[in-house]
Amino acid sequence: MIRIIIADNHQIIREGLKMILKTETDFQVMDEAQTGAQVLEKIQNSDCDILLLDMDMPGRNGFELINDVKNVNPKLPILALSIHPEDKQALRILKSGASGYLCKDSATDNLVIAIKKIYTHGRYLSESLSEQLAFNIMPEEKAKPHEQLSNRELETMYLLVSGKKVKDIAAELALSISTVFTYRGRIFEKLNINNNVELMHYAINNNLQNPSNRAL
């Protein structure tokens, strides 16, 4: 029996995932969580086999939550779920500690496959993601400047590109204004740019200007 915890703040999504999982007699949904705090509470001393974790729950961003889960229950495999296409954040999620990544649009077809793959082999990669991963590790492939940004720097960059002011970004991310200025300086340095106008041009040229692409 593969014991599963579903973490998603939308009840309709949780119900949909449970409907898919009910098609398998060896799956058991043993618990659900709606917030990051509930996730950490429910996985403590839990004997579940896999955590299905929505990357876009309110509060702590998905990357921070993966780190928190690993601190509480290091051996618990995480299958990250998101509305974002694989090419936008999957590799970053895997590097953060998840055992697999699944776009919600493909959950109906691939959720069962992903869970079984993680349970038996420890890792799930779709065919397209495997190709992307292989491409990225080729020695002749040069990383783009924005791929050097940390998760928080990348998050700050998207908010700057969306037109938000530093004080508003600080409020949204629960950071001090000086910290946001520090992140902005690091972003400018790593991208080799000097101001927000150049940042916008960089984002447009690299298809990063859409806030829905934020890797949270």
CA distance 47 to 49: 6
- Give percent of the chain with pLDDT exceeding 70: 88
Q: If pLDDT is split at 50, 70 and 90, which confidence band does 136 have?
A: low
3-class secondary structure for 48-69?
A: CCEEEEECCCCCCCHHHHHHHH
Write out the two tokens for 73.
């229950």
pLDDT in tens, 169-181: 999 988 899 999 9
CA distance 153 to 63: 13
- Do residues 27 and 118 touch, judged by C-beta distance below 8 A? no
Average pLDDT, the chain: 86
Q: What's the pLDDT at 144?
A: 81
CA distance 199 to 203: 6
Q: What's the pLDDT at 106?
A: 84
∠ CA 14-132-145, nearest 5°, is 100
Mean pLDDT for the stretch of residues 94-104? 90
- Which of 20-24, 58-62, 106-110, 212-216 is most confident? 20-24
Closest C-alpha to 49, from 23, 24, 30: 30
When comparing pLDDT for 112 and 88, which is higher?
112
Q: Tokens 């229950």, residue?
A: 73
Protein fold of 2-136: Rossmann fold (3.40.50)
pLDDT of 102 strictly over 80? yes
Q: What's the pLDDT at 137?
A: 53
Give residue limits of the domains in the chain. Answer: 2-136, 145-213
- Sequence length of the chain is 216
Q: How many alpha carbons lie under 13 Å from residue 181 in its C-beta half-sphere? A: 4
Q: Which amino acid is at 63?
A: F
Q: If pLDDT is split at 50, 70 and 90, which confidence band does 143 have?
A: low
Contacts of residue 109, Cβ cutoff 8 Å, sequence gap at least 6: none
Contacts of residue 130, Cβ cutoff 8 Å, sequence gap at least 6: none
Q: If pLDDT is split at 50, 70 and 90, which confidence band does 206 have?
A: confident
Task: State the CATH architecture for 145-213.
Answer: Orthogonal Bundle (1.10)
Classify residue 71 by burial, with Cβ atoms within 10 Å: 0-12, 13-18, 19+: exposed
